[in-house]
Amino acid sequence: MSAPAGPDMPWRFPIFNATGLAWGLLFGLLLASTSAMACPAGCHCIEKNSLTVVQCMSRNLDRIPSDLPRDTVVLLLASNRITHIPNHAFKELHYLQELDLSNNDIETVDVGAFQGVSDSLLVLDLSNNHIQSVPKEAFARLRAKISLSNNPWHCECTLQEVLRELRLDPETVNEVICHTAVQEEYAGKPVIQVLDSGINFCNFHHKTTDVAMFVTMFGWFTMVIAYVIYYVRHNQEDARRHLEYLKSLPSSSQISKDFDTISTVL
């Protein structure tokens, strides 16, 4: 509202209502906060004890949403088309307790995929995916109960070291199967059953490495020997040709006789 102009006051600055300005600023802050905490497109969010449950199941998602509410306590991403869990995918979700990524197409899990939620996460479901192996550090410091069942695991040293540090879901632990293995005889068997029988995949790894090193060294040794033989034979051939050339030259005595003959004639 502006004060009326008079003959001695041709114009005045507009007079702002302080209360209206305060409410406007508060409304702007609330709007910004609501936008920051908005539910991802295609998902359904429910408030639970002032925290958020985000339901994104069967939404045909091919990646993990990046605009998840920071107060998310439960995140349900099952039955989508997600293929990859990137680094820092959940780093802002400091209250996250349950994460369901089952029944996706996940093939790769980055080293820092669960950084930021290792202290809060209680349940992690990665069952029914396409995971063959994971980096040893991917589950570092996780205390969650983890389900890894029904994945085409390749049983080798790294997987053994990963499983040693995890708290696997006891109800699905026997469904963690060796789809392939460093020793074919263990393919098709539960990983825990193989490990409990005293098999150490890391020993196979070391043996395989030793054999590979031996084969490589033998190959280099064979190449060196072959080169030496070739070098010696090549030098022998050159020496033989040089000797034949020298033999083909006239001898010094013959040259002297010819010189004497020429001198006598002269």
Higher pLDDT pick, 195 / 229: 195
| Residues forming a β-bridge with 181 | 155
By mean pLDDT, which of 17-26, 55-64, 113-122 is the weakest? 17-26
H or E element that contains 254: helix 252-265
Tens digits of per-residue pLDDT, 135-190?
989 998 899 999 999 999 999 999 999 998 899 999 999 999 999 999 889 999 99
Contact 234, 215 (CB under 8 A): no
- Could you give the angle at the alpha carbon of 172 between the alpha carbons of 168 and 177, nearest 5°? 90
Residues 149, 171: Cα–Cα separation, whole Å? 10
Residues 211, 115: Cα–Cα separation, whole Å? 37
Report the pLDDT value the prediction gives residue 49, as an integer from 0 to 100.
82
pLDDT at 108 over 90: yes
Residues 111, 114: Cα–Cα separation, whole Å? 8
